[in-house]
């Protein structure tokens, strides 16, 4: 299935663990997904589900106590070359050449993602200077071009301004410019709009969509906001406690969610007209398991309304596929076949 598509990224059975004195605690286990050129994949989950760590691991940016323990992260170049990011290791020229050039990343907090004592222009132009050995003037010209593209007024003057002179939305725009200056094939966006208010949020999402269509990069969009998923993504992968429990095209997942966790997530989203229809928002009972004490079998079974004991508590649930819709749940077969 993956071979047929023009993929930018294939993540295969990726596992991340926390290294402690003598033991390793698995945090993300056996995650697989892929991204085609120009595709937006949303990675959705609660805080602590491992979605941000997954994003960081794609560029080998995990902090020292965390490590990739298994799997491959295959980055495809336009000319057909394939690089395994896991094989590059976390340090050295090889991985540095990937960061910012082949993959760009934007973060949740535009407020602190820029150094307050360097100008916006210097921080954006720097990326081009590192990767493409262009002169300072050329890099500045490119930075101004990018700032114009992300909708910052008077881009040439904006180059010499400091981040704190920008609003949150403007800073996130500048952040996007920095991530895209070298034209990466993949943009990783780790909750890029969470810290912004709603109107700015939709402006940023519009901008990202526009840039994606213009530049043709794939976007891995990390979020916990299902509203954003519906607006932005082509496909979605739902993470729970370090595993992907369900994935598929956005339409399939929203219309026919199979996994009880996905269903519960959708139930928990307020919609217009809820009051008239007397629909109540149902929060999911309980909370995400502590990584040091995860349940056996299906990670979700203690909170699952459809759990069948002892089956769900004994072994991890089997995975079922129907076309591009995948789910890991004992109910998968009957539900997908419906």
Partner 1 sequence: MITFFARRFAYMVITLLLVSVVSFAIVQSAPGDYAEIYAARKANAGAIISQAEIENVRRQLGLDKPWHIQYGRWIGNIVLHNDWGMSWEWKRPVGEVIWERMPLTLAIAFSTLIFMYVVSIPVGIYSAVHRYSIGDHTVSLLGYIGLATPNFLLALVLMYLSQRYFGQSVGGLFSPAYENAPWSWGKFKDLLAHLAVPVIVLGTGGTAFLIRAMRAAVLDELNKMYVLSAKASGLSPLKLLIRYPVRMALNPIAATLGWRLTYVISGAPIVGFVLALPDTGPLFLHSLLNQDMLLAGAMIFIYCALTIIGTLLSDLLLVALDPRIKLE
Interface residue list for partner 1 (CB under 8 A): 59, 61, 91, 93, 96-101, 104-105, 107, 109, 112-118, 123, 126-127, 130-131, 162, 164, 175, 178-179
Contact 110, 101 (CB under 8 A): no
Indicate the helix (H) or strand (E) that contains 337: helix 332-337
CB of 87 to partner 1, least distance (A): 18
Q: In what order do the strands lie in the sheet with 7-19?
A: 24-36, 7-19, 66-76, 82-84
Q: How far is the CB of 180 from partner 1 (least distance, A)?
A: 11
Handedness of CA 306, 311, 313, 319 (dihedral sign): negative
Which of residues 98 and 250 has its CB atom nearest to partner 1 in the complex?
Answer: 98
**Is residue 66 within 8 Å of residue 17, measured between CB atoms?**
yes
Taking the complex as a whole, the smallest distance from the CB of residue 203 to partner 1 amounts, in Å, to 21
What lies within 8 Å, CB to CB, of 112 at 6+ separation is none
Min separation Cβ 133 and partner 1, Å:
12
**Three-class SS string for 59-127?**
CCCCCCCEEEEEEEEEEECCCCCEEEHHHHCCCCHHHHHHECCCEEEECCCCCCCCCCCCCHHHHHHHH
**Smallest distance from partner 1 to CB 175, Å:** 7
**Least CB distance from residue 80 to partner 1, whole Å?**
23
Residue with Cβ nearer partner 1 (109 or 225): 109
Q: Which is nearer to partner 1, 114 or 240 (CB)?
A: 114
Query: Is the preceding omega at residue 256 within 30 degrees of 0, hence cis?
Result: no
Q: Cβ closer to partner 1: 117 or 275?
A: 117
Nearer to partner 1, 113 or 241 (CB): 113
Rounded Cα distance between 228 and 206, Å, is 11
7 versus 60: smaller Cβ distance to partner 1: 60
């Amino acid at each position: 299935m993956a071979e047929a598509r023009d993929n930018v990224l294939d993540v295969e059975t990726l596992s991340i663990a926390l290294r402690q004195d003598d033991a390793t605690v698995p945090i993300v286990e056996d995650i697989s997904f892929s991204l085609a050129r120009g595709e937006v994949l949303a990675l959705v989950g609660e805080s602590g589900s491992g979605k941000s760590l997954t994003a960081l691991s794609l560029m080998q940016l995990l902090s020292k106590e965390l490590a990739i323990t298994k799997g491959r992260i295959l980055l495809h170049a336009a000319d057909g070359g394939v690089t395994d990011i896991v094989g590059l290791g976390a340090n050295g020229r090889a991985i540095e050449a990937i960061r910012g050039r082949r993959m760009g990343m934007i973060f949740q907090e535009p407020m602190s993602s820029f150094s307050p004592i360097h100008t916006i222009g210097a921080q954006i132009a720097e990326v081009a200077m590192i990767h493409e050995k262009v002169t300072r003037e050329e890099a500045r010209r490119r930075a101004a071009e990018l700032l114009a593209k992300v909708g910052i007024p008077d881009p040439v003057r904006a180059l010499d301004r400091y981040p704190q002179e920008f609003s949150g939305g403007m800073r996130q725009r500048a952040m996007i410019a920095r991530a895209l200056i070298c034209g990466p094939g993949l943009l990783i966006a780790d909750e890029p709009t969470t810290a912004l208010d709603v109107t700015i949020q939709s402006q940023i999402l519009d901008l990202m969509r526009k840039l994606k269509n213009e530049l043709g990069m794939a976007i891995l969009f990390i979020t916990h906001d299902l509203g954003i998923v519906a607006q932005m993504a082509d496909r979605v992968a739902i993470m729970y406690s370090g595993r992907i429990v369900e994935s598929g095209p956005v339409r399939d997942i929203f219309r026919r969610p199979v996994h009880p966790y996905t269903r519960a997530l959708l139930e928990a989203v307020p919609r217009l007209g809820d009051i008239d229809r007397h629909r109540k928002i149902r929060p999911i009972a309980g909370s995400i398991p502590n990584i040091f004490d995860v349940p056996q079998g299906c990670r979700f079974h203690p909170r699952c309304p459809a759990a069948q004991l002892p089956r769900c508590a004994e072994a991890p649930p089997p995975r079922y596929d129907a076309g591009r819709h995948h789910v890991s749940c004992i109910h998968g077969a009957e539900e997908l076949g419906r």
